Amino acid sequence: MPDEASREKGRLMFAGPIDFLKGVVAMSGLPPADRVEVCFAGRSNVGKSSLINALTGRKALARASNTPGRTQEINYFTAGDTHYLVDLPGYGYAEAPVAVVAKWQALLKSYLGGRQTLRRAFVLIDMRHGIKKVDEEILTLLDRSAVTFQVVLTKADKIKTSEHEKVLTQVRAALQKHPAAYPEIVVTSSEKGDGIETLRAIIATMA
């Protein structure tokens, strides 16, 4: 758990201005690498938009979509004048054409491998399912790109508290194979607000 000073820093950052900056479809469109950057990755329907909205306290900052794979851009948000929050395209979607998926994957690889100011990737995993094969692909990509990543479990309220430890054990075992994995796992619920304060503190204290 973060200490009181870290929690307060997180509260102040996310109580301040958070704005959508731009959607990027090519590396040439990335904004200047002039501040701390964290990104959010997760398979489609993992609750990424809901988490970003809960984190920022804004109901419609990140568009939640019922159509998996609709977010085809890297979406940049500014948090004050010190941080970028980056929403990566969802992965593991079935509806998108193969050529489109290949283009997204190429952009993702370029971004992860070539962004010097990227401090951490938050990989969202649905707590009802744990780490699946489709997640392993992005975790391996992060290893290869030497990007530190931290697992954020979403939808914790959708399973019984008694089942949490079983999922955490599965996730911890899977992460042991990944050198880029950060050891601490954050358990969240966008609906109930669980873990949101912790995540805010982690991001705000990153330099």
Convert the pLDDT of each residue in 126-145 to its tens digit. 999 999 998 998 999 999 99
pLDDT reported for residue 202: 97
CA atoms within 13 A on the CB side of 25: 5
pLDDT at 68 over 70: no
The SS3 assignment for 90 reads: coil
Mean pLDDT of 26-53: 94
Mean pLDDT of 53-76: 75
Bridge partner residues of 40 (DSSP): 87, 122
Going by pLDDT thresholds of 50, 70 and 90, the confidence category of residue 99 is: confident
96 against 65, higher pLDDT = 96
What does the alpha-carbon distance between residue 95 and residue 25 come to, in Å, rounded to a whole number?
19
Inter-axis angle of helices 4-15 and 196-204, nearest 10: 90
pLDDT at 114 over 90: no
Cα–Cα nearest to 186, from 158, 163, 164: 164
pTM score, two decimals?
A: 0.93
